[in-house]
Amino acid sequence: MNFTEFKKLYQKFENIDYSKSGWRTAEYDAFLDAKDDHHHFYEWYLKQELIKENFNTENFCCPVLAYHTFSGKKNENEAIIYQKVDKSFAIPIHDGGPSLIAIRNCPWCGSGLNKK
C-alpha cells in the first residue's frame, strides 16, 4: 500500500461506526497493518487525529510525543506526561505514588526536549 492509498483509506475509515456490524474488513485490516508497518504513515495518522482535537503539534519534536502528551492529559495511565510547572516531560512510575522520571530526550525520535 502506498501513502496515497493509505490516506484514502484513512478518509474512508476515520468516522467508522464500530457499533454497526461489518466494519472489520480485509481492507480495514490492511489499513491498520500499513499504519503499523510504515512509521511515517503512523505519524501522519497521529497528526490527523490531533488536528481533529485542535491540539497544536508544532512545538513537538514528533507527532508521537505530541500524541502521547495529548492523551496524557486525559489518561492518568499514559506513558509520558508534560509538566507545565517547569515545562518538562517525565515518565510516571505507575506504583500508586507521585514518582516521575524526568527525561531529556524524546523516547520516540531521540530529539532533545529543550524547554520551551
The footprint of Zn ion (CB under 5 A) covers 61-62, 65, 106, 108-109, 111
Q: In what order do the strands lie in the sheet with 88-92?
A: 81-83, 88-92, 100-103
Say if CB 42 and CB 36 are below 8 A apart. yes
Question: Closest separation between CB of residue 113 and Zn ion, Å?
Answer: 8
Of the two residues 31 and 63, which places its CB atom closer to Zn ion in the complex? 63
Tell me, what DSSP letter sits at residue 105?
Answer: B
Q: How far is the CB of 46 from Zn ion (least distance, A)?
A: 11
Q: Rg for the chain (alpha carbons), in Å?
A: 17
Output 67 or 108, the one with its CB closest to Zn ion.
108
CB of 86 to Zn ion, least distance (A): 19
